[in-house]
Structure 1
């Protein structure tokens, strides 16, 4: 469905305005799908993102600072999200040996298993393959990078 139909309007100031609205709407649409898929494992999209980062670091630990830097959604409250993951047994916290003020965060086996269960669905290959080609994905990636000032 076209953006005009989705938000029930035909009035845009320009194609740039329409593109901005379309990007925001589509971002929310994708986020909604991913939130629903993550919730099947009783985690949020932000929790999934932290688990994904920790798996990339594994077996090395991460700090709250590293997690905050790498998160897709730049939330200020990483420690609260980590605490929720600890209570679910998906990550573990321990004192950093080299800096007693810092906390090391590592993904647990349960966290790795949770990610493995979600990996396929979170890639959204079902939606992407149905709606756009690989070449169109490459074009979209290039355009989005260009939008953010990277060529």
Structure 2
């Protein structure tokens, strides 16, 4: 079944729309695969992502804004995410002594242990792209970087235009 049939779209405006829709559709499949994998560890992919970032900063504490900036999903509610990780014992949260409005977040020993357990099976996620050769995967990475660069450039142009017309 082709993309048109899968999405119930008879025609696309152009190949850019088709590529965009294909990316979004494929994201759904990848996201479901990741969520199912992390469910085995009683985590969501966003919680794993936060723990991965915190492990990279360990033992230095970070703020929720730092965490949000580094997350794959920039729209995630970092405060709620941290609260859930704290409730599971995967992080410790303390008030920042220099700025009472901020909190310091550090991955706990239990958080490091769950990441070690996940690391053993993490290679299974590579299987989600098993239909590609390693060379094709490299080409895909390069193409997706071009997409991100194009989006960032478009956002910069839009911001500049809004500044000029304000």
| TM-score over 0.5 for the pair | yes
Quote how far apart the aligned CAs of 1:97 are.
3.7
Q: How much has 1:60 moved relative to structure 2?
A: 1.1
Distance 1:30 1:8, change over 3 A: same
- Structure 1 residues 76 and 30, CA, compared in 2 at 3 Å: closer, same or farther? closer
CA displacement 1:2-40 (0-9 Å, x = unmatched): 434533545222222211110000111111111111111
Q: Secondary structure at the match of 1:62?
A: coil
How many residues are paired up? 149
Distance 1:21 1:139, change over 3 A: same
TM-score between both structures, scaled by the size of structure 1: 0.87
Query: RMSD over aligned Cα, in angstroms?
Result: 2.0
**Native 8 Å contact 1:37 1:122 kept in 2:** no
Q: Which runs of 5+ in 2 are unaligned?
A: 151-166
Question: In the superposition, relative to structure 1, how do residues 132 and 69 fare at CA in structure 2: closer, same or farther (>3 Å)?
Answer: same
Q: Unmatched 5+ residue regions in structure 1?
A: none
What is the match of residue 23 of structure 2?
23
CA contact (8 A) 2:37 2:125 kept: no
CA contact (8 A) 1:61 1:106 kept: yes
- Distance change (3 Å), C-alpha of 1:32 and 1:138: same
Using the alignment, how far apart are the partners of 1:55 and 1:28 within structure 2?
A: 27
Larger proportion of helix: 2
